[in-house]
Amino acid sequence: MLDCGGFNITLVQDGERICGDFGGALVNLRQTDEGTIVGTSVGTTAILAVEGMRNQSIVLVRATLRGNSLHWRSIDEIKRGGSDIDVIASDNVLIRKRRTPPSAKHRLEAGQTCDSHPMVNRGQAYGIQRLG
């Protein structure tokens, strides 16, 4: 049986500011990554800088909220990472999860905000599961 890869994010919006974090894995969990997200929103669309800790790459993403889904599209590479592959979603639809993930719950209880980034104080979790 193959393990599945996936990509999950937790975001907080404070006015027009957005911050959060992500975790991702390739199929069979052969590579994993986590990192931070910062950006700004206008209406239901956000422009986000997504930094992976695995190779320090920074990707510019346009994310558009449509109902319970977040349409996520990588639009540019701000900083090229090392020789290692990125584990950042490129063109996907992420679905809102119904529960607050443990990391966001812990941060909410700690009362942290975008000002204390990369911690998230109250997040909406989204994720996509890729079948292996």
* 29 touches 16 (CB < 8 A): no
pLDDT tens, 66-113? 988 899 999 999 998 887 777 888 888 888 876 555 555 555 455 556
Instruction: Look at residue 115 and give its three-state secondary structure.
Output: helix
Q: What is the reported pTM?
A: 0.75
Mean pLDDT taken over the chain: 77
Token output for 10: 């937790």
The residues spanned by each domain of the chain are 5-120
